[in-house]
Amino acid sequence: MMLKISVDFVMTVLLLLQMAYMLVGNAVHEWIGTAMVALFMLHHVLNVRWYGNLFKGKYSGIRILQTVVNFSVLFCMFGLMISGIIMSRVVFSFLSINGSMGFARMLHMVTAYWGFLLMGVHLGLHWGMIMRMIRKIRRKKESSKLQTWTLRVLAVAISGFGVYTFLKHNLISYMLLKNQFVFFDVQQPLISFIAEYLAMMGLWVCLAYYISRGIQWLSPKK
């Protein structure tokens, strides 16, 4: 349980650094990407039972949504890995791949931004489980009302800032390939950039979590 949480936490931190590739430099970006691939594979090994249960049981609305999101994240990761290897000038430079750079760059951009959004949704759909795991580790069954409402207010504040930064960075234009070149303010401090992207991730975590709660509430109860 601790290993699963640790792997997911490290992957989240690395993902935020990956989005700041113009600020961290190409070499660091490639090495972090390689580390993320290794952690992504470990994540799937630790959750291999999910694949074994794919054709078992009934599919509720929330299970269908989780399955679609999980495979969409997997597709984005494959796209990032393939395009990243093609464009690599440091880690996989020994492969000496020539050509297809234009296609690889476009694939890398669109899967990066869709993958970022979907990772937030993926976390949100599993947020209840994550909180239960944390409570189990802390040996605490329920949070107090004060803690619950404090976290809700914090979630609203983060989501509001997430909406602002999503519009500020114009991520939708990259996701839909309306803009084929990503704009970076190279004068912006790295910590400020990560805070903005963390808020965007928090926005999608909150939306996915409460949408999943709504689907569960609307589902017929036995």
pLDDT per residue as tens digits for the range 64-73? 999 999 999 9
* pLDDT the model gives residue 222: 47
Mean pLDDT over 45-63 rounds to 88
> Alpha-carbon distance 169 to 113, whole Å?
11
* pLDDT the model gives residue 174: 92
Confidence of residue 142 (pLDDT cuts 50, 70, 90): low
CB 123 within 8 A of CB 208: yes
How many residues are present in the chain? 222
**pLDDT over 70 at 141, yes or no:** no
Residue with the bigger pLDDT between 143 and 148: it is 148
* pLDDT the model gives residue 143: 63
**pLDDT over 50 at 212, yes or no:** yes
